[in-house]
Structure 1
Amino acid sequence: MESTEVESDILRRVRTLLRELDGHHPACQCDRGMLRWTLHKKIDQNPSNSSILVRILVKELERAERGDFRHYIVPLLHTLMYTLIKAPCISDELCGRVYDFCKKLLTLPKPFCTIGLDYAIRLKMERTAPGMLYQRMVISEQSLKSDPYPYQEKIFIFADPELLSEAICNALVTDTEAAQVSQSPRACMCYVIIHAMQAALGEGCDISSLKASLQDMATSDVEHWFRQVVAAVECSGNEASADRGRHAERLEKIYRTVLSSLQAGKELVLFIRPMSQSCEPDCLSQDLDNFEIQDIISDCECYEQTRFSVLSTDSGIERDLPVAVEESYAPCSAETEQSRLHRKGGIKKKLSPLESVTFLQAGCNGPGVKSPAKLQRRPGIPPEPAGLLQRLHTARIVLLGDDRILGRLAQAYHSLRKRETRRVFLTPRLNLQFYYIPVVTGQLNTLAVMDHTAADQEELCEVAGYLGRVDPWYKSNINTLCHMIPKLATMPSSPSKHLVTDLFITDVIAYYVRMGIQPVCFQVYAVKIFFNDPAQEPAEDVFLTEMRTQVQESISYRELSMTKKKTTLDGPGIDLTVTYRKVVVSNRAKELAMSLRSTGLVMKAVPANEAEDLMCLNVNITEVVRINNLSGRSFSAVANKLKTRNIKIRSTEQRPFTVCLDKDSRRAYRNVISVEVSPCLEPSYCLQKTRTMKFNLHETEDVGLVKYMPKSLLLPINTFAGVIQ
C-alpha cells in the first residue's frame, strides 16, 4: 500500500474515532472501544507508519483547539502519546510540535492543564533521550533490575468469584497467563536495547543484524548491554545540558560494540571497557527484591529492630586515623562489637503530637517520609540523603465487577488507612492506584435489586455510568467491556476467539493502567447500626455507592398480633424519625427533623448526572400517606427527596428493618432499629485531632497540623481525564 493510501486509511480511522465520541458512529453500541484498539494494532503491525499517525493526530489536535472541540483533546492526546511511546523513531520536529501543543494546554482549566503538564515533562525528556519513555515503561512493568531507574510496578486483578461467572474467571486467568508467555526477562531486555538503538540512530540502525547479535548472545551478555543502554539513556535524560546528538553518540558506540561481538566472537566482550561511571546517575537502593504486597506487609517488623549506639574511638587527630582507607570499610571486629552500647530496660517515652508528624504525613497520602528506624552511621561512609526514601513500587489494583466489588474495596481501603495510622509501613514505600472495569453477568441475587429484571442491570454499575459521563474516553474504552467480557468468555474455542480475547482484553487493561492516571475521588460514608436487641453491640461499616433499608417482614407472631391492628389503621410501613443536616448553597449547617411512616428508603452516594455534587447523599424516602374519601380509607406512596451529608433514622415503634450496603446481600444487617450515616473521616485526621484535643481542651475548631490535613476519606478511581466540566 502506497504512503498516500496508508495516510488516507489512518485519517479515516481517526475521524471515525472522533465520530464515536459524538455518538454518530453507526455501530457505536456494539463496537465501542474496538476502533482505538484496531488503530493501535494496525500501527503495531507496521511500526514505520507511526510517524504518519502522529502527524495526523497533531493536526487533529490543532484543529480541535481552533474549533473549540475540547471533548476531542484528551482522547486524541492519549492516542498520540501511546503511539509516540511505542514508536521506534519519531523526528525531533514532530516531537516539538506535540510539546508545543502540550504547553498551550497549560492555559486551560483542569484536567487539560494537568494532562498537558504531565505530557510536556515526558516529552522534554524524550526529545533529549529518544526511547526513554518506552524504556521506563518496560522496566517498571516487567520488574527488570535497573539501578538507574529502580521503579517497578505490578498489576493486580481482583475479581470476586461470587459475583462473576466461572467462565469469566477462567478466561481472565487464561488470557493473563498467555500474555506473559512472550514476556520473558531476556526478551524484554532485548526489546529495550533494540528500541533505544532505533530511537537514537534512526535509519542508521540495522535492525536485523542487531536482533541476530542479541539472539546469539548469552543471557549474561544481554544483561550487560541492557545495563549499559539503560545507564546511557538515563544519563542523557537527567543531564541538564544534554542534547540529542550526544545521546546518539553514546548509543552508537554501544551499537557498534554489540555488532562487533557477532563478527569477532563473544570473547571480545570480556575486554570491552565499560562506560564511564560519571555517566551513570546515583543508584537508588531497592527495598524490595520481589515486589509482593504480602512481603511488604510482613516486613513491618523492621520498625521494631534493636537500636545500637556506636562508641566513637576517633580522637579527631590526623595521626590517629587508620593507615589504609579500606580499613574504615572493614567489618567490625569482636572488640568493636563489645564496645557497642545496648539500651535495655529503659522507659519508653510517649511521643508528643509534633514528634509524630512524620507518621501522619504518610497517612495523608503525602510524599515519602523518613523511615522511623534510623540506620547506624559507619565511620567513613557519608549518611544517606533524606530524600532517597521514595515510592519505588506501584501497585495498580484493577477491579472487575459491579458496584458490589467497589463496596468491598471501600471496606478494605478504610481498614488499610486505619492500620497505616497506627503503624506506617506500606504508604511510604508503595503507591496504590485503583482502576475499575465494569462487568455484568446477570447474577441478580442481591437484596437491593432482587425485584428488578435483567434490563435494569445498569443499576449495578452506577459508578461506571458516572465515570463514563464525566470522561467520554472512559465510556468509549472501558464501559464497553461491561457486556463484551462475558460474551468473549463464553465464545467457543477457535482461532478467531484466541485472537480476540487474548489480545483485546489484556491490551485494553494494559492501555487503561498506562494512560489512566487522572483520579476521580469518591466519598466513603460511615454508617453506625443499632439493633433491636439492647445487648447486641452496634455495628460500624462503610459504603461507597448506596445504602437501602426495607421493612423487615419476618417478625415474631406476638409482635405481629400486637401490630396488626395498628398497621391496619396507619397503613403499611413503620413510623420513622429522620434527623438530617440539609445541604444548602451557602454551606451553612441547617438541622431538620421529620416524622413519617415509610416502607423504606434509598441513599445514593453517586450522583445521577455530572452536574450534581459528588460529595452529597441523595436520599429517597417512600412515605405512606393516608387518604380519606367517600369509599373509605386508602393509602398512597409519596417520594420524599433530601440532600444531606449527615442523617439519622430511627424506628419509633421499635419495629426492626433491614439495611443493605452497596447492593450486596452479603452485607445485609437484620433487626436494625436505628442507623447513623456521615462522611467517613480520614483515620490519620482523627488520630491527630484526638492528640491535639488533649493539649487544647477548649478548642472547638481544628488547630495546628489538623487544619492542613485531609478530613474526609476519599477513594480515588483512575480514569483517562478525571472530571471534565
Structure 2
Amino acid sequence: MAMPTTTSSGSSPAVENPEVESDFLRSVHALLRELDGHHPAFQSERGMLRWTLHKKIERNLSNGVLLVKILVKELERAERCGYRQYIIPLLHTLMYTLVQAPGVPDALYERVYDFCKKLLTLPKPYCTIGLHYARQLKLERTVPGILYQRLVSAEQSLKNDSFPYQQKVFMFADPDLLSEAVCRAIATEIKTARTSQGTRSCMIGVIEHTLREGLKEHCDLRTLQKILQAKPLDVIEHCFKQVVAAMEHAGRDMNAEYNQYAEELEKIYSTLLTTENKGVDEAAAEGSSGNPLPNPNISFHLWTDEDQLWKELVLFLRPQSQSCEEDSLSQVLDSFEIQEMGPDYDGCEQARFSVLSTDSGIERDLPMPDDEVPEAERSRLQRKGGIKKRVSTLDCLSLLQTGSNGQGAKPAGKLHRKCGSSVMEPIAQLKRLHTAQVLVLGDDRVLARLVQAYYSLRKRESRRAYLTPRLKVQFYYVPVMEEQPTSCSTEEYALPNQTEPCELAAYLGRVDPWYESNVNTLCHMIPKLATMPSTPSKSSVSELFIIDVIAYYVRLGLQPVYFQVYTAKLFFKNQGLEPAEDIFLIELHVTLEESDPSRDNLLMKKKTTVEVPGADVTLVYKKVLLSNREKEETASLRSTGLVMKAIPSNEIEDLVCLNVNVAEIVKTANLSGRSYSLVTNKIQARNIKMQSTEHRSFTVCLDKDSRRIYKNVIGIEVSPCLEPSYCLQKTRARQTSLPGDEDVGLAKYLPKSLLLPINTFAGIIQ
C-alpha cells in the first residue's frame, strides 16, 4: 500500500536549533540506556526521562519536528543493527509526538510509514503495533489533523454528530489498601487537570490544529487565535462541528482528493476571517506554538460497593445513549434500573428465559374450570403454558465481541500465555460508540477485586447483553504499594513467604520493558509524592506527573495481556455447610490449622517420639506437559500446606497453568532418633484437587487478601474459571442435544475460559 501525500507544497521546515537538537539527542540516548538498565538514575526515578522529554515538546511544540527526526534516525538504526528492544519504546515516543507536533514534513511521515511496514515481517507484537501505526499514519496524511481531533473529541466527550465516539477513564482505588493521603493527592491532581481545561478551550484547540495542518502556510495562526478567543461559545461549537464534519467526510472516503478537503477547510477559515471581530484582545496576538493534548476525562472512585464498577459503566452509557438514541433506548434504559437487577447467574445448570404470554385478553378465550368444560371441548380450550423465548442469535453473537480470548471452546494448541488484540470479529457488526478505560490502583489485592467485578459483569451480560453491544471495556493496572500485605501463613514449617505484593505488575514489567519504565515506577512514587508538602508549583497543570503518566499509559497502552482466572470450590469440615465457590487470579495459599492437643495428648501420653507436623493429604491433578498433553496423577503425602501460583515467576516458563509448591514433610533417621525435614515439591497442573485424609481442616487464603480467608476447610477443587456466556449457551444446547455431545450450537464459538485482559504498551515481547 502506498503512502498518500498531499498536493500542497507542504509546511515550511522547522528552524534548525543545534542546542535544542543536541538536548533532544541526549534525552533519547538516556532513554535507551534506561531500557538497558545502565542509567545512573535511581530506580525509583525511572520514567522521569520520558515525561521530561515530552514536557519539553509540550512547552514548545514547534520543536517537535526536531524530535521526530531524531527518533526516526534511532528507529532506523535499531532496525538495522538488530536492537529490537528499542523499537517499540521509540515508536510510541515518536507517535505521541507526531500527533501533537505541527508542521511535520511529508518526507518524515513517509519514513515513519515505511518503517512501520517493515515491522509487518516481524513476529508479534512488532507486526501488530506496526500495522496499527501504519493505518494511523495513512489516515493522517489523507486527512491532516484527524488523529488529534479524534483523540480529543473522544476523551473530552465533545458533542457532534460526525464523530460520536466517546471514552472515559474510570480510576478505582480500594480505600482499605491505600491511605487517605494517597487518595487525596490523586483526586487533587485530577481536579487540577479538570479545572485547567474546559470544553471551549478543547474545541478551539481542535479547530486551530485542524486548520493549521489542513491549510499549511495559508493559515494565519495568530489571526485565527485572536478571532476564536473573541467568539462566543455557540459560534465555537458551530465551527467545531463544521471542522469535524469535513474531516470525517474525508476520512470515510479515503479516495477523495485532498483539494476537496482543503476547500472545505478554506470555506470555514474564510468565514471566520470575514466576520466582524469586535472587542478582540490584542494581547492574544502572541499566539502559541501549538496545541498540546489536554488531559483525558478521568473520574476517581473509592471502591466501596461490590457492584460499583457495573453501576458506573451503566451511568456512563445512560446520558450518552439518551442523547444519541433517545427514542429507541429510553424504554430500555428505564428497565435497567440498578436496584431492580436480578440475582447473579450461578453456574452452568441454571438458565434464565423470558416467558412470552399467549393471553389474548378476550374473556371468552379464558379456560373454564374442568368441571364446566365439556369433554369434547376440553382439549381445544385447554390453556397451554407460556412459550419459552430464548435470547436472539444476534444478542448471543454480541458476546463474541468481548470474549476474553477470542477463541472457541477447544483449547489452544499452545500453552503459552496469550497476548495481543486478536479478538474475534463478530458475525453481526454491532456498533459500539463508547470506550470505558478502567484503571485500578493498588497491589495484587485490588486486582483480585477487579476480577470479581469483571466476573460479575460477565455474568450479567450473559443473561442480557446491555453493556456489550454499546461499550468497549479496557483494563489498566497501576501498582501502588504503601505497606507489605499481611501474610496468610503463620506455621513454623510452612512454605517460606517470598510473595511479592505486586506480583502481576512485576511480571508485566518483565515481558514489557516500557511498562516497567513508565508504569511500575509509580509503585513507590505515588506514595512519595502524596507525602510531599504542597507547593505552588504542584497546582500548575504542567507539573502533574501522575496524571500525565496515566494519560500516556491509557492512550498508548493498547496491547492486552490475558490472565487465566481460576475457580476454587471449598468443602468444609461441617458437613451441614454448603460448599463455597470463589475465584482468584494470582495466588491460593493453603495452611494446615493447628491440631487440638487435648485428644492427641491422651493418645501420645506414653510415647516419647516427637509429633510430626502437618497432615496426610491426597492430591489429584492434571499435570501440564510441554507437549500440550495432560496426564492425571495422584499423590499421597504429609504436608503443612501449599501455594498455587497463577502468575509465572519468569517469562521463560510462561505457561497457562497453576504452579503449585507443596510443603512436604519427609521422615528421616539419624543417630538421635527419627526426625523429619521440609521438602518443597513443584507441580505444574491444569487443575488440582486436595483432600485431607485425616479429616484435619486447613485454612485457605485467596489472592493474599486477609479479607478472603476460609477456615475449617477439608477439601478444595481448583480449575480454570469458565466464561459465563459459554456456560449459558452450553446449558441451553444440552437441553436439545444428545448425551455426550459437547460444545454444540453457539457454545463452540464462544471462549471457554474466563481471561482477564490487562493492557500494556507492547503485550508480551518474545
The interval holding the TM-score normalised by the smaller chain is 0.7 to 0.9
Cα gap change, 1:222/1:701 in structure 2, threshold over 3 Å: closer, same or farther? Answer: same
Equivalent position of 2:240 in the other structure = 226
- Matched ranges for 1:116-265 at <5 A: 116-263=130-277
CA contact (8 A) 1:530 1:538 kept: yes
Which letter maps to 2:56?
A: K
Equivalent position of 1:52 in the other structure = 66
- Measured in 1, the distance between the counterparts of 2:522 and 2:489 equals 23
Question: Does structure 1 residue 540 correspond to structure 2 residue 581?
Answer: yes
Question: Does structure 1 residue 350 correspond to structure 2 residue 364?
Answer: no
Equivalent position of 2:560 in the other structure = 519
Map Cα deviations across residues 646-667 of structure 1 (whole Å, 9 max, x no partner): 1000111111110000000001
- Measured in 2, the distance between the counterparts of 1:598 and 1:676 equals 17
- Measured in 2, the distance between the counterparts of 1:448 and 1:609 equals 24
Alignment counterpart, residue 363 of structure 1, candidates 385, 395, 399: 399
| 3-state SS of paired residue (1:666) | coil
Deviation at 1:422? 1.1
CA contact (8 A) 2:591 2:700 kept: yes
- Measured in 2, the distance between the counterparts of 1:606 and 1:175 equals 33
Alignment counterpart, residue 294 of structure 1, candidates 291, 310, 315: 315
- Measured in 2, the distance between the counterparts of 1:226 and 1:42 equals 28
- Measured in 2, the distance between the counterparts of 1:713 and 1:489 equals 36
- Measured in 1, the distance between the counterparts of 2:229 and 2:498 equals 52
Question: Does structure 1 residue 494 correspond to structure 2 residue 535?
Answer: yes
CA contact (8 A) 1:291 1:393 kept: no
Which letter maps to 2:687?
A: N
Equivalent position of 2:115 in the other structure = 101
Equivalent position of 2:438 in the other structure = 397
Q: Which moved more, 1:222-231 or 1:457-466?
A: 457-466
CA contact (8 A) 1:167 1:489 kept: yes
Deviation at 1:503? 1.3
Which letter maps to 1:160?
A: D
Equivalent position of 1:605 in the other structure = 646
Question: Does structure 1 residue 462 correspond to structure 2 residue 503?
Answer: yes
Equivalent position of 1:407 in the other structure = 448
Cα gap change, 1:184/1:564 in structure 2, threshold over 3 Å: closer, same or farther? Answer: farther
Deviation at 1:255? 1.4
Question: Does structure 1 residue 473 correspond to structure 2 residue 514?
Answer: yes
Which letter maps to 1:62?
A: E
Deviation at 1:342? 11
Deviation at 1:209? 1.8
Deviation at 1:445? 3.0
CA contact (8 A) 2:665 2:678 kept: yes
Number of positions where the alignment pairs a residue of Structure 1 with one of Structure 2: 644
- Measured in 1, the distance between the counterparts of 2:239 and 2:748 equals 52
Cα gap change, 1:505/1:305 in structure 2, threshold over 3 Å: closer, same or farther? Answer: closer
- Matched ranges for 1:17-36 at <5 A: 17-27=31-41, 29-36=43-50
- Measured in 1, the distance between the counterparts of 2:543 and 2:613 equals 54
Deviation at 1:630? 1.6
- Measured in 2, the distance between the counterparts of 1:243 and 1:610 equals 49
Question: Does structure 1 residue 705 correspond to structure 2 residue 743?
Answer: no
CA contact (8 A) 1:128 1:247 kept: no
Which letter maps to 1:359?
A: D
| 3-state SS of paired residue (1:594) | strand
| 3-state SS of paired residue (1:459) | coil
Cα gap change, 1:577/1:456 in structure 2, threshold over 3 Å: closer, same or farther? Answer: closer
| 3-state SS of paired residue (1:598) | strand
Cα gap change, 1:344/1:292 in structure 2, threshold over 3 Å: closer, same or farther? Answer: farther
Deviation at 1:448? 5.7
CA contact (8 A) 2:485 2:705 kept: no
- Measured in 1, the distance between the counterparts of 2:582 and 2:245 equals 50
More helix by share: 1
Map Cα deviations across residues 439-486 of structure 1 (whole Å, 9 max, x no partner): 1101433526999xxx99970111001101111110110011111111
Question: Does structure 1 residue 657 correspond to structure 2 residue 693?
Answer: no
Which letter maps to 1:293?
A: V
| 3-state SS of paired residue (1:673) | strand
Map Cα deviations across residues 228-281 of structure 1 (whole Å, 9 max, x no partner): 111111112121322333322321221121122244799xxxxxxxxxxxxxxx
- Measured in 2, the distance between the counterparts of 1:568 and 1:538 equals 37
Cα gap change, 1:69/1:571 in structure 2, threshold over 3 Å: closer, same or farther? Answer: same
- Measured in 2, the distance between the counterparts of 1:254 and 1:78 equals 33
Equivalent position of 1:324 in the other structure = none
Question: Does structure 1 residue 671 correspond to structure 2 residue 712?
Answer: yes
| 3-state SS of paired residue (1:106) | helix
Cα gap change, 1:33/1:559 in structure 2, threshold over 3 Å: closer, same or farther? Answer: farther
Cα gap change, 1:295/1:464 in structure 2, threshold over 3 Å: closer, same or farther? Answer: closer
Higher relative contact order (CA 8 A, sep 6+): 2
Superposition CA RMSD, Å: 2.9
Deviation at 1:89? 2.5
Alignment counterpart, residue 681 of structure 2, candidates 636, 640, 645: 640
| 3-state SS of paired residue (2:763) | coil
Cα gap change, 1:669/1:192 in structure 2, threshold over 3 Å: closer, same or farther? Answer: same
Alignment counterpart, residue 84 of structure 1, candidates 98, 108, 127: 98
- Measured in 2, the distance between the counterparts of 1:510 and 1:594 equals 50
Deviation at 1:51? 0.9
Which letter maps to 1:294?
A: L
CA contact (8 A) 2:660 2:685 kept: yes
Which letter maps to 1:350?
A: K
- Matched ranges for 1:686-705 at <5 A: 686-705=727-746
Cα gap change, 1:387/1:144 in structure 2, threshold over 3 Å: closer, same or farther? Answer: farther
Map Cα deviations across residues 32-56 of structure 1 (whole Å, 9 max, x no partner): 1011111110011111111111111
CA contact (8 A) 1:178 1:502 kept: no
- Measured in 1, the distance between the counterparts of 2:599 and 2:65 equals 77
| 3-state SS of paired residue (2:622) | strand
CA contact (8 A) 2:485 2:501 kept: no
Deviation at 1:359? 2.6
CA contact (8 A) 1:448 1:664 kept: no
Question: Does structure 1 residue 681 correspond to structure 2 residue 722?
Answer: yes
- Measured in 2, the distance between the counterparts of 1:585 and 1:562 equals 50
Equivalent position of 1:12 in the other structure = 26
- Measured in 2, the distance between the counterparts of 1:233 and 1:390 equals 20
- Measured in 2, the distance between the counterparts of 1:361 and 1:564 equals 65
Q: TM-score, normalised by structure 2?
A: 0.79
CA contact (8 A) 2:661 2:681 kept: yes
Map Cα deviations across residues 57-111 of structure 1 (whole Å, 9 max, x no partner): 1111111111111111111111111111111222222212211211111111111
Equivalent position of 2:621 in the other structure = 580
- Measured in 1, the distance between the counterparts of 2:17 and 2:444 equals 47
- Measured in 2, the distance between the counterparts of 1:449 and 1:144 equals 55
- Measured in 1, the distance between the counterparts of 2:535 and 2:268 equals 45
Q: TM-score, normalised by structure 1?
A: 0.84
CA contact (8 A) 2:169 2:436 kept: yes
Deviation at 1:517? 0.3
| 3-state SS of paired residue (1:697) | coil
